[in-house]
Amino acid sequence: MTSPHDDEASSSNPPPPLTASRIYIGNKAKEILATRDITGITKLVTNLCYVYLLDSLLMDIDDLRGGLKKESLNDIKNHVSSCLLTQETSDEDFKLLSRIVSRVSVDVFIASKPWYELCSYILSLDGNKKALLLFSELPTLLDEEFLMPLLENGFGLKIVNVLLMNQDYDEEEWCLGLEAGFSLILQLVNLKNKSLVWDLVYVIVKSVWEMVNVKRREVVVRKGFVRVAKKVRREALRFREHEYEVVSRLGLMIQRINGLGEVTMMMVTMIHEVLERYYMGGQVLNHGLLNQFL
């Protein structure tokens, strides 16, 4: 059951990150007072305010179909890189930063600017979740120069291992693996190595079959495809023929898997509907049905 306060927060603006909680601020304040370091106060205020406001601003620019000015693009990119590299972040803050990276990277890659720090940062992350989350948020604009270091350092294998893991099963990690695998397919489909694209397609199909028929985790599969549908909704305006083809074929392959329940099948069908309505500037989809599964 949700409280009226929860309803109010969800209906207008998203809730603040965990670092804005009273407990976090209280503990940080004690640390700062103990050291009498004015730079600590500055850093705390910056963490609590500046990045969150930047996310709001970028959302407004995105809604208006605008872009960042070339004069400010490098400064914003460098600031975001600094946030990723130097600041301690909670899981909620990292999700916020990942969204910001995604919006900034659209203009970075459209302008054909390199972002070596971002590629290196993804490779430096320990564990799987943060790396998969950050990669999944990136737009389908990455060039071969950005992707090849990731592949050469085993990022594709990391996705495969998450999707086909038999032990230490983690629901959130599997959903992130599905979204990251789908995102990598979209990134690679226009490059020379098409075989890797279809290798990933078959890994996803195999993983979904195992999740449904062996591990009995169809609810998790459904959550994963909600994320995939949202990814298609964000990216389909940039799709070309190859992206359209691979998404359509993957959807048909998933629909043929025995054991899928009615609701999960509906989510996979919705991916086709989102694709058809957004591809090449199609009509805007009513988000109500999709959002009720979030």
pLDDT by residue (tens digit) across 191-231?
877 788 999 999 999 999 999 999 888 999 999 999 999 99
The C-alpha angle 18, 83, 124, rounded to 5 degrees, equals: 100
Is 189 in a helix, a strand, or coil? coil
**Whether 271 contacts 229, CB under 8 Å:** yes
- Please tell me whether the overall predicted TM-score, pTM, comes out greater than 0.85 for this model: no
| Rounded CA separation 273/200 (Å) | 23
Is 250 in a helix, a strand, or coil? helix
Q: Which of 120, 201, 186, 129 is nearest to 153 (CA)?
A: 120
Task: List the pLDDT tens digit at each of the 294 positions of the chain.
Answer: 444 444 444 334 444 444 445 566 556 555 655 555 545 545 554 554 457 555 555 555 455 455 555 666 777 788 778 878 765 667 877 888 888 888 888 888 888 888 999 999 999 988 889 999 999 999 988 888 999 999 999 999 999 999 998 666 789 999 999 999 999 999 999 887 778 899 999 999 999 999 999 988 899 999 999 999 999 988 888 888 889 999 999 999 999 999 888 888 998 898 888 888 877 654 444 444 445 444
| Rounded CA separation 221/207 (Å) | 10
In the chain the first and final C-alpha atoms are separated, in Å, by: 16
CA 178 vs. chain centroid, Å, equals 11
Q: How many CA atoms lie within 13 A of 167 on its CB side?
A: 0
Print burial letters for 218-249: b (CB count within 10 Å at least 16), e (below 16).
bebbbbbbbbbbbbbbbbbeebeeebbebbee
Q: Which of 150, 140, 80 is nearest to 120 (CA)?
A: 150
Longest dimension (CA), the chain: 64
